[in-house]
Amino acid sequence: MKEETLQAAFALDNRITVRALESSDMDAFAEIMSMPGVRRGTLSVGYRITEQLKAWHERRLKGGVSVCATIGGRMVGHAGLEVQRPSRAHCAHLGVAVHDAYHGRGIGTALLQGLTDCADASLGLRRIELTVFSDNAPAIALYRKFGFVEEGRSRGFAMRDGVLADVLHMARLVDAPRLQAI
């Protein structure tokens, strides 16, 4: 999927659609995960091939939700929630990736709105956690918009561009509804 093609699709139909990620989306997903901005901005290993992502997607379906954002039928972003082990079944870990050419156009907002709505209304999740590079100001602002707060910093957490980089640990905690006495 070339950037020019995506730009043309955006010009023709700029509506963002969020839907479940499907096995047939893996080629577009692999392309997004190989983009320079995505590789630099996420803690995921870049240059993921389609077969790796298909296996990852099948594992994630067992305990989480994966969605993608499309414009004019073209995938321009992905986000997912991976539900934690049984003792932390009220928690999920969030991951987001947006096509390099579509940053700042509402893709991340649409993805997060879809996932937080699903987490609250359908999955019964009370806590969503994430890890973000401490210098990724746009992502941090997006997460704060959805109620995520910084809970800590890990210095030298991950190798990026040949140097150790700090990350922030953020979480969104939703109070559980109180049960009424019968």
Q: pLDDT tens-digit profile of 60-93?
A: 767 789 999 999 999 999 999 998 788 888 999 9
Can you give the pLDDT at residue 73? 92
- Range of lowest pLDDT (50-64, 92-106, 156-170): 50-64
Q: Give CA angle at 160 (159, 163), nearest 5°.
A: 70
- Provide the domain limits for residue 12: 3-130
Query: Residue 53: inside a domain, yes or no?
Result: yes
Whole-Å CA distances, 133 to 15, 40, 54, 72, 155? 29, 9, 26, 31, 10
Q: 56 pLDDT exceeds 90?
A: no
Query: Residue 85: inside a domain, yes or no?
Result: yes
In the chain, what is the straight-line distance between the N-terminal and C-terminal CA atoms, in Å? 57
Domain count, the chain: 1
Q: Cα separation of 68 and 176, whole Å?
A: 28
Averaged pLDDT for residues 140-152? 98
Would you say 82 and 93 are in contact if contact means Cβ atoms under 8 Å apart?
A: yes
CATH number of the domain bearing residue 25: 3.40.630.30
Q: Which residues contact 147 (CB under 8 A, 6 or more apart)?
A: 116, 172, 174
Would you say 67 and 92 are in contact if contact means Cβ atoms under 8 Å apart?
A: no
pTM confidence score: 0.85
Mapping DSSP to helix (H, G, I), strand (E, B) and coil, where does residue 95 land?
strand
Query: Residue 54: inside a domain, yes or no?
Result: yes
Query: How high is the mean pLDDT of the chain?
Result: 87
Query: Residue 63: inside a domain, yes or no?
Result: yes
Query: Residue 78: inside a domain, yes or no?
Result: yes
Query: Residue 181: inside a domain, yes or no?
Result: no
Within the chain, residue ranges assigned H as helices are 3-12, 26-33, 36-41, 50-61, 107-118, 137-145
In this predicted model, what pLDDT tens digit does every residue of 32-52 receive, in sequence order? 999 999 989 998 877 777 888
Can you give the pLDDT at residue 6? 41
Half-sphere exposure of 13 (CA within 13 A, CB side): 11
Can you give the pLDDT at residue 84? 79
Averaged pLDDT for residues 152-163? 95
Between 2 and 72, the higher pLDDT residue: 72
Between 78 and 3, the higher pLDDT residue: 78
Query: Residue 176: inside a domain, yes or no?
Result: no
Query: Residue 110: inside a domain, yes or no?
Result: yes
Of 68, 176, 165, 55, residue with least CA distance to 126: 176
